Amino acid sequence: MDKFTTLTGIAAPMPLINIDTDMIIPKQFLKTIKRSGLGVNLFDEMRYDDDGNEIPDFVLNKDAYRDAEIIVAGDNFGCGSSREHAPWAIKDFGIRCVIAPSFADIFHNNCFKNGILPIALPQEQVDVLMKDAEKGANARMSVDLDAQTITTSDGEVFSFEVDAFKKHCLMNGLDDIGLTMEKAASIDSFEATAAQSRPWV
């Protein structure tokens, strides 16, 4: 998993509330078990018309936001079914951070396991960041996970809270497998001792 330390990039404003996982990645794209290739279908029903043409008014189809790495969204982001494909699609598109007043719990946890930083802030702070994001590609927002701060293009700084263990995992690029591999020496030692003491196993 990619490490997350600092990020400075374009933020796409998505002021909708209750953006659910089916909006993020519709059910017809859940057949794959690969984490790559889903970015093209991120927000598919909002990005494309019935003929597969881009809908010009959708934020990620606008030239200013095609390379966005941050989403500033409305309340209850990631609600709905607990599909891990949702953070897979977000990450594959290139988004590394989502900022919103609140997140659905399962989606929130899945983000950390897939190298995405979800940041919950009070609505009034999200409103400021939303306005900053609306400035387009020239307004680049900075996120510092170590310092736990977000800096707007105008230099205004907001602090955010994050679970210490999740922060450690994200900064060190550790998913569940990575966490297990950190203990590889201890596991090998245990297995060697067990093999000697119980050779019949």
pLDDT in tens, 65-112: 999 999 999 999 999 988 899 999 999 999 999 999 999 999 999 999
What is the pTM assigned to this prediction? 0.88
Structural contact between residues 119 and 166, judged by C-beta atoms closer than 8 angstroms: no
Phi, psi of 11, deg, nearest 5: -110, 130
- Note whether residue 53 is domain-resident: yes
Q: How far is CA 150 from CA 9, 31, 123, 187, in A?
A: 11, 36, 15, 39
- Note whether residue 1 is domain-resident: no
Residue position matching structure tokens 């993020």 = 24
pLDDT of res. 177: 62
DSSP secondary structure letter of residue 143: E
- Note whether residue 12 is domain-resident: yes
- pLDDT tens-digit readout, 150-173: 999 999 999 999 999 999 999 999
pLDDT of res. 63: 96
- Note whether residue 57 is domain-resident: yes
Q: Which domain holds residue 139?
A: 6-197
Number of domains in the chain: 1
pLDDT of res. 197: 80
Secondary structure element (H or E) that encloses residue 159, with its range? strand 157-159
**Mean pLDDT over the full length of the chain:** 92
Kindly tell me if the per-residue pLDDT of 178 is higher than 70: no
pLDDT of res. 99: 98
CATH (domain of 174): 3.20.19.10
